[in-house]
Amino acid sequence: MVDYEKMPRRNIIVIDMKSFYATCECVERNLDPYTTPLVVAEPNRNGAITLAVTPYMKSLGVASRTRIYEIDPKIKYMTVPPRMKLYVEYSKKVISIFEKFVSKKDMHIYSIDECFLDVTDYLKMYKLDDYTLARKIMKTIKDELGLISTAGIGPNMLIAKIAMDIEAKHNKDNIAKWTYEMIKEKFWPITPLSEFWGIGRRMEKNLNNLGIKTIGDLANYDKKKLKNKFGIIGEELWNHSNGIDLARIGDFNEKPKDKSFGHSQVLFKDYTDENIPIIIKEMVEVLTARLRRHKKKCQTIGFGIGYSAIYGGGFYHSRRLSAPTWDEETIYEMCITLFQKFYEDFPIRKVSINLSSLIDNNIEQLNLFETFEENVKKDELNKAVDEIKSRYGKNSIIKASNLLKDSTMIERNKKIGGHRE
């Protein structure tokens, strides 16, 4: 049973620009996105994925992310090529409007078209409640830029986000406000699980195999069993299904001052969510070996993706662990969690991982779910592998996954600074 009295109670507003790219194109053409059949995609590629469609196209059953050839041929619409520079300019203008209402320190820019605002300390000054303030901000965006938006409001970032994703678009004013007291009513009936922020199709299938079909099933499942089954991800899933999110917007605005270990890789072909986990696993393997070599452990993991040049953009987000680690599986799990949470279904050409909040190996806070003996066993195994690779070469020990066709590990191990030895 969760004691919500001990949970943070902030006034968080998350605002998302509705059909952002498509609406920008409509505004540029003095068209109404609610009556205009417009699709943003590469016009000469029948297999291209749409980057955005107008609300009017959605009303005809066309999803935001669909291939051109899947659109009903009976629908007459215009296709316009993506203009990322234009969308970035509009995004900057939206951010400037947010800055009229709150300080930068109380903003978290989640993506090009979505932003979290902590308005807790501003309500008295404006003499408004959070709902009215959200409406005021959204009206300003519409009046000044012509863009339409939706908003979620909650006591933490998670609840605000889920309220927006699940309910706001169905409400007349495009706003939904949820509280801790509404978790059972609003969260628990959600199904399929992939409708919930942070649960991808793969995780949905894994949870379904455990008999977990709704968020309520997840919230009432044994937390320790989820942790044992899925590691850090399992613990986070249980917390989120119960509306628990201790992150504060200020946490995302803190710049790391300590040394960090980073690794990025530009890929020689397009990757998708099907084959990118191999690359992530190999990069984590390289980074954790560096941690152990320098006798360091990390507590903050940053993960980023760059999309193919045709689409542009990408994301970079970080997460702080409950305890420092150099364990490969733990860091890989968190990278996959961040990937599944923020990936937008576009072809991938770059992956970046950064490990920070470093501490010396002899200073450690034990994870509640692991014993000291378990940690020692993992460390000894990892050290043995590192020693063999150091003595006999990086390819002296490889994993089965390194032999898969999408792996780049063996080839990269033959290079120095990205070039053949």
Of residues 89, 99, 114, 421, which has the active-site annotation?
114
Neighbours of 366 (CB within 10 A): 12
Q: Is 42 a catalytic residue?
A: no
CA distance 200 to 210: 16
Structure tokens at 62: 């066309």
CA distance 309 to 347: 9
Q: Which amino acid is residue 46, in one-letter code?
A: N
Number of residues in the chain = 421
The answer to whether residues 243 and 166 touch, using CB atoms and an 8 Å cutoff, is no
CA distance 97 to 394: 52
Active site residues: 114
